[in-house]
Copies of this chain bind each other. A is one copy, B any other.
Amino acid sequence: MGEKKSNMTVNPYEVKGNVDYGRLINEFGLEKIDEDILKKIKKHTKNELHPMLRRGIFFAGRDLKWLLGEYEKGNKFFIYTGCGPSGPIHIGHLMVWYFTKWLQDKFDCELYFQFTDDEKFLYKDLSYEEVQKWTEENMLDVAAIGFNPKKTHFIIDTKHAGIMYPEAVKIAKKITFSTIKSSFGFNDSNNIGSIFYTAMQAVPAILPSILKKKNIPCLIPHAIDQDPHFRITRDILPKLGYYKPASIQCSFLPPLTGFSGKMSSSSEGVKSILSTDNPAEVKNKINKYAFSGGRDTIEEHRKLGGNPEIDVSFQYLKHFFEEDDKKLAQIEKDYKSGKLSTGELKKYTIEKINKFLGEHQERRKKAKKLVSQYILKT
């Protein structure tokens, strides 16, 4: 698919240009999350909606009405999400996972969390050992999220290959290279592991059904670039007797440098705020790199006001770090009017991020034991 048109590319292996989410909904054939879906969600969350739902950060999905309908009938779903361990964790990752925790808590779900170490080894210029090191590191961050230890299961592709490969083979038999080419923009020079890989990414969507010997609905929270994988998964699974997995998809947290592409952990530290950044690092990154929607001079800004739509600090607050809607609306208003300067906005954003990361890092320090508890026993 590649979804190339007017400089936009969105697939698991490339995100380029200014992402037009409205167009992606059409081109990917996604369902927009509407009032009806939000109402159905609220029925099970004591009328509460996560800020990322209220603000349209998680904005689209597949089969959510069906999934919630099944839930109402007592046919509970499990959640499947994951992490590609190729570098340090940044706040764009954390955003999806903290939302996932909210989902797990509200719907009291089992969570299968996949670490795609095979994928990252096959696609990146990294050694096997480097990917293993990142897997260890990244598991600490995921454990720090605070998922329900009784209902959370880590799957590491190479460690769980014994149960995954036989299922991947059943899926792979139904996928041709033509499909891979059009879904991911591959060609004959791609390595054969990367060509096979999407079958491994499909497996967690059925693994609980296999382990528990009954067909269980699946919900996948993910950033929109992963959709091509799960479009294939959804095509194949019904042919093997399983439900199509439902999904709930978010837009990207913008890189520090502004709205083009997505945050990446491979351009380490420069474009991203990392889960392990200390307060001084966060302060420096925001002050130095965070693209500002403010005016060139403070005088101009006071007079004409700034543009929160393109201001990275404001967007970080909106996407993730400011839970209070009233507070956010006030900041938006004041920034637009010029009452709030870029410096003040950045200062506030730095405080919010540092408070959040401070708590995350405290949990991360104690996460090692939790990790071994989370890893799926086979």
**Which residues of A in the span 182-222 have a Cβ within 8 Å of any Cβ on B?**
187-196, 198-199
Q: How far is the CA of A180 from the CA of B122 in the complex (A)?
A: 17
Question: A-side binding surface: helix, strand, loop or mixed?
Answer: helix
Cβ of A213 to closest chain B Cβ, rounded Å: 16
Q: How big is chain A's contact interface, by range?
A: 35 or more
CB pair A122 B169 closer than 8 Å: yes
Shortest Cβ distance from A175 into B: residue: B192
Q: How far is the CA of A170 from the CA of B193 in the complex (A)?
A: 8
- Please state the number of chain copies in the assembly: 2
CB pair A176 B161 closer than 8 Å: no
**Which residues of A in the span 155-193 have a Cβ within 8 Å of any Cβ on B?**
158, 160-162, 164-166, 168-170, 172-178, 180-181, 187-193
Q: A180-B192, A196-B196 are in contact. Are A165 and B172 (CB under 8 A)?
A: no
A128 within 8 A of B: yes
Q: How far is the CA of A296 from the CA of B253 in the complex (A)?
A: 84
In the complex, chain B residues whose CB is within 8 Å of the CB of A169: 118, 121-122, 128, 158, 193
In the complex, chain B residues whose CB is within 8 Å of the CB of A166: 118, 128, 158, 161
In the complex, chain B residues whose CB is within 8 Å of the CB of A162: 160-162
Q: A122-B172, A162-B161, A165-B158 are in contact. Are A199 and B193 (CB under 8 A)?
A: yes
Q: How far is the CA of A194 from the CA of B122 in the complex (A)?
A: 17
In the complex, chain B residues whose CB is within 8 Å of the CB of A193: 168-169, 172-173, 175, 196, 199
In the complex, chain B residues whose CB is within 8 Å of the CB of A187: 177
Cβ of A195 to closest chain B Cβ, rounded Å: 5
Shortest Cβ distance from A118 into B: residue: B169
Q: A158-B165, A162-B162, A165-B161 are in contact. Are A192 and B176 (CB under 8 A)?
A: yes
- Choose from B168, B189, B196 the contact partner of A176 (Cβ within 8 Å): B189
Q: A162-B161, A166-B161 are in contact. Are A177 and B192 (CB under 8 A)?
A: yes
CB pair B170 A128 closer than 8 Å: yes
In the complex, chain B residues whose CB is within 8 Å of the CB of A189: 176-178
Given contacts A118-B165, A173-B191, A174-B191, 5 further A-B contacts (CB under 8 A): A118-B166, A172-B192, A176-B188, A176-B191, A192-B198
Of the A-B pairs whose beta carbons lie under 8 Å apart in the complex, a sample of 11, sorted by A's number, is A122-B172, A160-B162, A161-B164, A165-B165, A172-B196, A176-B190, A181-B188, A192-B195, A192-B196, A192-B198, A192-B199
Closest 10 interchain pairs by CB?
A162-B162, A172-B193, A161-B165, A196-B196, A158-B166, A178-B188, A177-B188, A165-B165, A172-B192, A175-B192
